[in-house]
Chain A
Amino acid sequence: MIGYIIRRSIVAVATVWAVSVIAFAIIQLPPGDYVTAYIAQLQASGSSVSMEEAESLRQQYGLDKPIYVQYLRWVSQFARGHFGVSMLWNRPVKEVIGNRLGMTVVVTLGAVMLTWLLALPIGIYSAVRHYSLGDYVFTFLGFIGVAIPNFLLALVVMYLGFALFNANVGGLFSSSEMYLAPWSMDKVVDLLKHLWIPAIILGLSGMAQLVRIMRNNLLDELGKPYVVTARAKGLSEFKVILKYPVRVALNPFISTIGYTLPYVVSGSIIVSIVLGLPTVGPLLYQALLAQDMFLAGTIILLVGAMTVIGTLISDILLVWIDPRIRLEGR
């Protein structure tokens, strides 16, 4: 098991590295560099910069060095928490991001937990009450969840909220005062009241998938001999199902959860743009539209790293739970 953890950690580090390369590439892609943009800004506000000043600025920022040196510089700065300066806001990126990253984690976690908590019992129910009305209803809802992209669902929900209730169902807090206020029980409650909408929107398609997986796995297991053995022992039907086939069907279920995380994080970016949540999504969007590359690249790297860490944690949890992997050290 330790071997497995080490191996996964190495892969995680490699993944974060890959994301950093891509993020850096994204930063570099638009024509020109930081200094060009800076000059353009200055020129827009009236002042101008001579060629020599531009050159010395470039040297100062190391922009005349080869690409891989710049990359290394960027990575080392990043590791120390210096994320650069945002062109759009004229403030350090770190400030601009603020606690939005934390909010992103909250929304993502909320969606994942809701998905998991609901998918499990629904999946079990669907398998046990195979072909019943409830099963059909859930299958239908599941199809809707899979078919409607999350951002479209968010759009529809926003529209309905506006058209039917004349209310803005977006956002995570009732007002900006609430958002800016220090953390308190009231604030947490307010957050939860608003959190369930994005959580459901984000989680719906993942939930549909998980329900399907759980249902199919459980259906497979329910026909197996050890279930009959358990019944033959005289165990009650309820215990027979929950203790044995569910336990076995749970393993592939849990391992799938690990891979839904990148998907949920991805989805949260767009959904939070539509719903206007105070997370990293709308910020990234604005940064990209304005070609504020430092902000954009930083956000991409942070989000990617966050996802990788989350996936790693869930993989470790899986290994801890499954005795087969644990004992055989696979």
Chain B
Amino acid sequence: MSKKAVTEGAAAAEERIYVASQWQLMWWRFRRHRVAMLSAAVVAVFYIVAIAPEFFATTDPQLSEARRSLIPPEPIHWFDNGKFRPHVYAVAGYRDSMTFKMVWESDPNMKIPIRFFAQGFEYKLLGLIPTSRHLIGVGEGLEASDTIFLLGADVQGRDLYSRLMYGTRISMSIGLVGVLLTLIVGIFLGGVSGYYGGSIDNVIQRGIEIIRSIPTIPLWMGLAAAVPRDWSVVQTYFAITIVLSLFGWTGLARVVRGRFLSLREEDFVAAAEIAGASQFRIIFRHMLPSFLSHIIASTTLRVPGMIISETALSFLGLGMRPPAVSWGVLLQAAQNIQTIALSPWLMTPALVVIIIILAFNFLGDGLRDAADPYQ
């Protein structure tokens, strides 16, 4: 390329950067971070499953059948004699007369073909549209509940894969709702603290110090245990969310406060005040946008913490309770070492939790790097 073209190209690129908005800049920087992009995709997939878990599940998650207790996972085999014909093997079991436990064997000669977008149990997509289409299913005359055990079955014969799909909904959404609450409280208190300063700031700061020194899990356990057993799933859900958010807002509040404090001194704020803008306008139109991107990045990093906390509480039986399904509830089965030694597939929800947490962490890191103008 001629020298002139190079310099012109460089000049044009610089011009583009110069006039790009803050969000565009952030997006361009984020795009370069390949791991973060991948993680964003992973998170998106998880949320898609969370919105429509019924579609991805093969069996009704509450359908229990003692006959199917502890079936090991039956993976999909994609090729049959070289032809693309996805299928699973049929499973046959008998009860061991000594231990009274079911013993399972898969029969490679009985091939059950898998259909995609097949018919299965009925549900309402998004709670509105009645349908019975599922991503994976079996053909006519066969029941998915008897044949497909992608991740095995638990001790009550419920398909773990389907329950995992359903669990995504609660586990992922509690993260969001909890963080939303934290966001609101954190921004509000942090903003008030930073903007007004003085004794209000002092009081709120002391409060934050106090809350930060308290070990959270014992308190969560106690508060969660206090949620009455007879509350409905929805009520328990909100109660747990509130309990989890009680302590999480302090980090965000401190950051917001710090930003407000330093921004108060900035010239552009003084200029807005001189121009006669109302305090409300100054806060929301001028100060907040300057660190909004940072808030988004920090908030993303809080979600995995919430997910872990809910999973921990439910794992202990103190959080979400059956018949609700969350990853933590699924992991309750793993409390017993003997059980998982014999049926290690019951630990799969742990793997799922780890994946989503890694994804959120990378995503949050990427967002934070992209949002930080002083890189």
As a 0/1 sequence over residues 325 to 354 of chain B, the CB contacts with chain A under 8 angstroms (1 = contact) are: 000000100110100110010010010011
As a 0/1 sequence over residues 198 to 239 of chain B, the CB contacts with chain A under 8 angstroms (1 = contact) are: 000000001001111111111101110110100000000000
Let me know if A303 is at the binding interface, CB within 8 A. Answer: yes
Main secondary structure of the interface of A (DSSP, over half): helix
Let me know if A147 is at the binding interface, CB within 8 A. Answer: yes
Please name all residues of chain A whose beta carbon is closer than 8 Å to the beta carbon of B317 when the two chains form the complex.
Answer: 289
Interface residues of B, CB < 8 Å — how many? 40
Let me know if B311 is at the binding interface, CB within 8 A. Answer: yes
Which of A17-25, A190-198, A215-223, A320-328 contacts its partner?
A17-25
Please name all residues of chain A whose beta carbon is closer than 8 Å to the beta carbon of B209 when the two chains form the complex.
Answer: 11, 15
Q: Nearest chain A CB to B139's CB is how many angstroms away? A: 37
| CB nearest neighbor in A for B216 | A266
Please name all residues of chain A whose beta carbon is closer than 8 Å to the beta carbon of B211 when the two chains form the complex.
Answer: 18
As a 0/1 sequence over residues 260 to 276 of chain A, the CB contacts with chain B under 8 angstroms (1 = contact) are: 00110111011001100
As a 0/1 sequence over residues 272 to 310 of chain A, the CB contacts with chain B under 8 angstroms (1 = contact) are: 011000000000110011010000110110011001100
Please name all residues of chain B whose beta carbon is closer than 8 Å to the beta carbon of A22 when the two chains form the complex.
Answer: 214, 219, 222-223
A19 contacts B214, CB within 8 Å? yes
Given A151-B315, A159-B344, A273-B316, A307-B215 contact (CB < 8 Å): yes
Interface residues of A, CB < 8 Å — how many? 50
Given A149-B311, A159-B340, A311-B358 contact (CB < 8 Å): no
- Tell me the bound Cα distance from A128 to B217 in angstroms: 37
| CB nearest neighbor in B for A12 | B213
Given A151-B312, A152-B353, A152-B354, A285-B215 contact (CB < 8 Å): no
Let me know if A42 is at the binding interface, CB within 8 A. Answer: no
Please name all residues of chain B whose beta carbon is closer than 8 Å to the beta carbon of A317 when the two chains form the complex.
Answer: none
Let me know if B318 is at the binding interface, CB within 8 A. Answer: yes
Q: Nearest chain A CB to B363's CB is how many angstroms away? A: 12
- Tell me the bound Cα distance from A158 to B304 in angstroms: 24
One of A147, A162, A300 near B218 (C-beta < 8 A): A300
B347 contacts A155, CB within 8 Å? yes
A15 contacts B311, CB within 8 Å? no
How many contacts between A and B, using CB within 8 angstroms? 126
A262 contacts B358, CB within 8 Å? no
As a 0/1 sequence over residues 59 to 83 of chain B, the CB contacts with chain A under 8 angstroms (1 = contact) are: 0000000000000000000000000
Let me know if B40 is at the binding interface, CB within 8 A. Answer: no
One of B335, B344, B361 near A147 (C-beta < 8 A): B361
As a 0/1 sequence over residues 34 to 60 of chain B, the CB contacts with chain A under 8 angstroms (1 = contact) are: 000000000000000000000000000
A266 contacts B215, CB within 8 Å? yes
Please name all residues of chain B whose beta carbon is closer than 8 Å to the beta carbon of A274 when the two chains form the complex.
Answer: 335
B215 contacts A18, CB within 8 Å? no
B221 contacts A288, CB within 8 Å? yes
A152 contacts B316, CB within 8 Å? no
Which of A26-34, A78-86, A231-239 contacts its partner?
A26-34
Please name all residues of chain B whose beta carbon is closer than 8 Å to the beta carbon of A304 when the two chains form the complex.
Answer: 214-215, 218-219
As a 0/1 sequence over residues 240 to 278 of chain A, the CB contacts with chain B under 8 angstroms (1 = contact) are: 000000000000000000010011011101100110000
Q: Nearest chain A CB to B295's CB is how many angstroms away? A: 21
Please name all residues of chain B whose beta carbon is closer than 8 Å to the beta carbon of A19 when the two chains form the complex.
Answer: 214, 219
- Tell me the bound Cα distance from A14 to B210 in angstroms: 7
B347 contacts A262, CB within 8 Å? no
B219 contacts A300, CB within 8 Å? yes
A259 contacts B308, CB within 8 Å? no
Q: Nearest chain A CB to B339's CB is how many angstroms away? A: 10
A11 contacts B350, CB within 8 Å? no
Known: A18-B214, A270-B316, A288-B221. 7 other contacts (CB 8 A): A11-B206, A12-B213, A14-B206, A147-B357, A156-B347, A162-B337, A262-B212
**Subset of 6 A-B contacts with CB under 8 Å:** A23-B222, A143-B358, A147-B357, A147-B361, A296-B222, A304-B219
Mark A residues whose CB is within 8 Å of B.
11-12, 14-15, 18-19, 22-23, 26, 29-31, 143, 146-149, 151-152, 155-156, 158-159, 162-163, 168, 259, 262-263, 265-267, 269-270, 273-274, 284-285, 288-289, 291, 296-297, 299-300, 303-304, 307-308, 311
